[in-house]
Amino acid sequence: MSNSVSALQGKVATAKVMVRDAGLRGMITLRGDITNTKLKAACAGLTGVDWPAPGQANCVGDKGLAWMSPDEILLLVPYAEVPAALGLVAKALKGQHYLAENVSDARALIQIEGPFAAEVLAKLAPVDLHPANFKPGNFRRTRLGQVAAAFWMRDVDTIDVICFRSVADYTFDLLATSAAAGPVGYF
Amino acid sequence: MLILHCPYCGVDADETDLHAGGQAHLKRKGPDSSDADFEDYLFMRENPKGVHFERWRHVYGCGKWFLAARCTNTLEVFGTYAAQTTAPPKDLLDTISEKRPGWSWGISK
């Protein structure tokens, strides 16, 4: 069995706003009827966080839930717990129409942390990241530069970004360059 | 820059987050139709200067298709609505009539 490694293998770019590889993280794409109470109960049991409203992500530590679309939820768990989590979801939704797929190795997770973290992203995404409009708990799927990405705000100074594994280097360099260039000072 | 409100995920998405899908409310002509009807369905499209109904996909966001009414002349957006409809909602048509009296489009002719 080969060892699992994250796409960026612990890469860190240190500046006033630090951009770093957040390492391996278990991610499960859940599609189906997301109003299903059994699905909600299973997710609550796995992550211990509240069900996210549209455009929101609830994350505590390595666990969390993010609202991806009206029929899709992203379930975040520690990397090693994915097979067990998939088993629990399958048990809870037995006989129902749904899809649960382990996408942990298809993605990269990057964390931006520092005093102007939102500005680092605001330079790259067509999203209003003004502190009055994008607050802790908010989640957005969009693009960063030329690639698809999603991000959510943990707290005012910390934002988690996910992108496809194949574009992890591009995304990391993009964020690191934006961070190194400093704040715009508009917010 | 065109900014459309996605009716599914509720965000105001920039044009670069979206993918244009051409004219909305096309009615498919099946195997029983005449050749002329089928040709119309495949190739003939509205090309108005003014009110237009289009399909858009929130491609970098939730991935859903939705419909939008906008003015091709001024780029004013009248509104967006779910794709699971065969005609624009009444309140949207009222809004357009208020702003563009006497307007017409393929489906309302």
What pLDDT, on a 0 to 100 scale, did the predictor assign at position A1?
65
What are the chain A neighbours of B82 within 8 Å (beta carbons)?
Answer: none
**Residue B41 belongs to what domain range?**
3-108
- Over residues B84-108, mean pLDDT: 90
SS3 content of chain A, % helix, strand, coil (to 5): 25, 35, 40
What pLDDT, on a 0 to 100 scale, did the predictor assign at position B107?
61
Q: Check B8 against A70: CB less than 8 A apart.
A: yes
> Is residue B109 predicted with pLDDT exceeding 60?
no
What are the chain B neighbours of A143 within 8 Å (beta carbons)?
Answer: 16-17, 60
What pLDDT, on a 0 to 100 scale, did the predictor assign at position A135?
95
| Comma-separated ranges of CATH 3.30.1360.120 domains in chain A | 12-23+107-180
Q: Check B63 against A69: CB less than 8 A apart.
A: yes
Q: Check A141 against B16: CB less than 8 A apart.
A: no
Q: Check B60 against A143: CB less than 8 A apart.
A: yes
> Is residue B74 predicted with pLDDT exceeding 70?
yes
CB pairs under 8 A between A and B: 37
Q: How confident is the model at residue B49 (pLDDT cuts 50, 70, 90)?
A: very high
Residues ≥6 apart with Cβ < 8 Å to B82: B7, B8, B66, B67
Does B16 touch chain A if contact means CB atoms closer than 8 Å? yes
Measured CA to CA, the distance from residue A25 to residue A166 in angstroms comes to: 16
Q: How confident is the model at residue A186 (pLDDT cuts 50, 70, 90)?
A: confident
Does an H or E element contain A42, and which? helix A37-47
Q: Check B9 against A55: CB less than 8 A apart.
A: yes
Measured CA to CA, the distance from residue A85 to residue A100 in angstroms comes to: 10
Instruction: Look at the domain A26-105 and name its fold.
Output: Alpha-Beta Plaits (3.30.70)
Q: Check B64 against A142: CB less than 8 A apart.
A: no
Average pLDDT over all residues of chain B: 93
Measured CA to CA, the distance from residue A133 to residue A127 in angstroms comes to: 10
User: What's the one-letter identity of residue A128?
Assistant: D
What pLDDT, on a 0 to 100 scale, did the predictor assign at position A2?
80
What are the chain A neighbours of B13 within 8 Å (beta carbons)?
Answer: 126, 142
Q: What is the pLDDT of residues A95-151, one digit of tens each?
A: 999 999 999 999 999 999 999 999 999 999 999 999 999 999 999 999 999 999 999
| Comma-separated ranges of CATH 3.30.70.1520 domains in chain A | 26-105
What are the chain B neighbours of A72 within 8 Å (beta carbons)?
Answer: 62
Q: What is the pLDDT of residues B1-24, one digit of tens each?
A: 899 999 999 999 999 999 999 999
Question: Of A4, A2, A3, A33, whose CA–CA distance to A108 is shortest?
Answer: A4
What pLDDT, on a 0 to 100 scale, did the predictor assign at position B82?
95
| Class at the top of the CATH hierarchy for domain A12-23+107-180 | alpha beta
Does an H or E element contain A179, and which? helix A168-180
Residue A116 three-state SS = coil
What pLDDT, on a 0 to 100 scale, did the predictor assign at position A77?
97
**Domains identified in chain B, total number:** 1
What pLDDT, on a 0 to 100 scale, did the predictor assign at position A142?
96
Q: What is the pLDDT of residues A146-182, one digit of tens each?
A: 999 999 999 999 999 999 999 999 999 999 999 999 9
Measured CA to CA, the distance from residue B90 to residue B82 in angstroms comes to: 13
What DSSP state is assigned to residue A119? H
> Is residue B39 predicted with pLDDT exceeding 60?
yes
Average pLDDT over all residues of chain A: 95
Residues of A with CB under 8 A from a CB of B: 54-55, 68-70, 72, 126-128, 140-143, 148
CA dihedral B33→B37→B38→B44, nearest 10 degrees, is -160
Q: Check A148 against B63: CB less than 8 A apart.
A: no
Residue A123 three-state SS = coil
Question: Of A139, A134, A138, A146, whose CA–CA distance to A171 is shortest?
Answer: A146
Question: Of A73, A157, A148, A64, whose CA–CA distance to A108 is shortest?
Answer: A148
**Burial of A173 by CB count in 10 Å (0-12 exposed, 13-18 middle, 19+ buried)?**
middle
CATH of the domain at B86: 3.30.2270.10
- Measure CB to CB from residue B8 to each of A69, A127, A148 and give the nearest one: A69
- Over residues A27-53, mean pLDDT: 94
- Over residues A56-76, mean pLDDT: 96
- Over residues A59-85, mean pLDDT: 96
What are the chain A neighbours of B11 within 8 Å (beta carbons)?
Answer: 55, 140
> Is residue B67 predicted with pLDDT exceeding 60?
yes
